[in-house]
Structure 1
Amino acid sequence: MNYHRFKKKVLIPLAIPAVLGVGMAQAQDTVVDTSGIDEVTAVAAETFAAAAASQARINRLSDQADELLAEYRDQSKAVEGLKVYNAQLRRTIAEQERTIAQYDRSIEEVASLQRQITPLMERMMVALEQFVDLDIPFQVEDRKARLALIRDTFDDSDVNVAEKFRLVLTQYMNEITYGRAPQTYSGVMELDGVERDVDFLRVGRIALLYQTSDQASTGVWDKNAKQFVELGNSYRRAVAEGIRMAQGLATTEILELPIHAPE
């Protein structure tokens, strides 16, 4: 768009020379008629006034044009800035839309995974419960209590699937750990119709033995008979030493213990 600026011009009246000429011509006459001079002078004055008014209007219009041009330039700069901002905003929105699309896909994948994990956890829990029932009977009540607590979370909507699955896996790892190292713990057994305080010695999953606190009775779990059977005195010292080693009270060494051969 082309903008025409108003230039300040000065209007020069041309009536003065004519007036002066008339005055000089008339000065030669003996009788001077001043009515014409007055009229011309009045016209000249009016002309000067009109010229001054026109010049003032021109100046105002020129100033207004300068102000409008400056405002236009400022607005043009603002528009350019908005264009840059809008371009950046469009890029940001596009990136956010891509991120939202990724989140939507992730949510769909998680939902699908949850549908698959739930029946898997159920099968894992059943396997754990059956395993504890068929395993050698060490700390049975504690192990079953932990399984019961885990199963209770299955119906708890406040516990998410990831936490439920973590609890199941943790119990799997606990059961695996039981088969790697010896362990001793205290308990109560009924011997000859009398409840006795005993120390149990579990050697991985290959042997579960007991010994009374006075070492008067020592026995081992018979997998075939599904019960504890008493051992002779020949194993009393070895079992006592094994209990001390499991408690960390004695150095580890080879012991001769009654072990059932794998079936």
Structure 2
Amino acid sequence: MNRFRSSAFVLAALTAFPILAAPVDQAQSIQKQTNQASVRSQKVIDKSASASIELKASIERLREEVNNLEVYRHHLKTLIDSQNQEMTSLVQQISDIKETRQGIVPLMYHMIDGLKQIIAQDKPIKLAQRRERVEKLTALMGRADVSEAEKYRRILEAYQIEMDYGNKIATYQDEMTTSDGVTREVDILHIGRLSLLARSLNHQAFWMWDMQSHQWIHGDTAQLTRINQAFDLANQHIAPTLLDVPVSLAVTEAK
């Protein structure tokens, strides 16, 4: 009888063991899933922290760009106000003078002198072309086969071209002489009159025009990626985007 009971007890214990083991396995599985979830959560946290740092850096860059744009906007406003005043003055002079050769010719010479001053004080954007244009206007004034109206139209056209330099972003190839006296063939980019940059033809170096010293200064190669992006934007190789490039302003322009 006792032997029968012992056998029954052993049988009951063996039967209950799988039942007891199942919750343990389930607990271990839950623990494993919890650990995996914790690892995934930590990765998400790390990624979010990294993204937050990058976002803060981007915000700082954007703030700097906004400040640069504010300076540029103020510069443009000052330039436009000055040009409007000059145009108003010219319109007033034209309306006041008589339609005679004696009255209009001195005004046109005065306007050509004004172009020379603008070119001399400005950044050397397409400098050779601009000087050549003024020389042609000066020569045109001595031609008897060209009417005064046509001469005046050409002068106004030259003023319009000068204004356009301040409103466009464009590239062109030209020669550049650096402060060490070396002349190079380079790609040149101007962003309005805010920034004037030159890049080597192999895209491995760049220079920026310094309005204080009136010379080309070698740029930091760490900025080459942003410089190349600016050239690509000007050449319409990429979609419009914010640019982070060095600016060059005279003291009076930066105020």
Q: TM (normalized to structure 1)?
A: 0.55
Deviation at 1:114, TM superposition (A): 3.5
Does residue 125 of structure 2 align to residue 138 of structure 1?
Answer: yes
Deviation at 1:149, TM superposition (A): 0.7
The one-letter code of the counterpart of 1:233 is: T
Deviation at 1:188, TM superposition (A): 2.4
What is the percentage of aligned positions where both structures have the same residue? 27
Q: Which residue of 1 aligns with 2:105?
A: 118
In 1, Cα distance between equivalents of 2:106 and 2:181? 45
Q: Comparing 182-191 with 207-216, which one deviates more in the overlay? A: 182-191
Q: Which residue of 1 aligns with 2:226?
A: 238
In 2, Cα distance between equivalents of 1:190 and 1:132? 18
Deviation at 1:242, TM superposition (A): 1.1
Is the CA contact (8 Å cut-off) linking 1:201 and 1:209 kept in structure 2? yes
How many residue pairs get aligned? The number is 155
Is the CA contact (8 Å cut-off) linking 2:177 and 2:216 kept in structure 1? no
- Which of 110, 135, 149 is the aligned partner of 1:162? 149
In 1, Cα distance between equivalents of 2:99 and 2:222? 60
RMSD: 2.1
Q: Which residue of 1 aligns with 2:214?
A: 226
Is the CA contact (8 Å cut-off) linking 2:125 and 2:190 kept in structure 1? yes
Q: Which residue of 2 aligns with 1:257?
A: 245
- Which of 140, 147, 161 is the aligned partner of 1:153? 140
Unmatched tracts of structure 1, length 5 or more: 1-108
Secondary structure of the corresponding residue to residue 112 of structure 1: coil
In 2, Cα distance between equivalents of 1:169 and 1:237? 39
In 1, Cα distance between equivalents of 2:106 and 2:242? 45
Q: Which residue of 1 aligns with 2:235?
A: 247
The one-letter code of the counterpart of 2:111 is: M
Q: Which residue of 1 aligns with 2:28?
A: none
Deviation at 1:113, TM superposition (A): 4.1
Unmatched tracts of structure 2, length 5 or more: 1-95
Secondary structure of the corresponding residue to residue 152 of structure 1: helix
- Which of 195, 198, 210 is the aligned partner of 1:210? 198
The structure with the greater share of residues assigned to helix is: 2
Q: Counterparts of 1:7-46 in structure 2 under 5 Å?
A: none
Does residue 190 of structure 2 align to residue 187 of structure 1?
Answer: no
The one-letter code of the counterpart of 1:130 is: Q
In 2, Cα distance between equivalents of 1:214 and 1:238? 16
Is the CA contact (8 Å cut-off) linking 1:201 and 1:239 kept in structure 2? no
Is the CA contact (8 Å cut-off) linking 1:218 and 1:235 kept in structure 2? no
Secondary structure of the corresponding residue to residue 201 of structure 1: strand
Q: TM (normalized to structure 2)?
A: 0.57
Deviation at 1:111, TM superposition (A): 6.7
1:159/1:238 Cα in 2 relative to 1: closer, same or farther (>3 Å)?
same
Secondary structure of the corresponding residue to residue 99 of structure 2: helix
In 2, Cα distance between equivalents of 1:129 and 1:193? 25
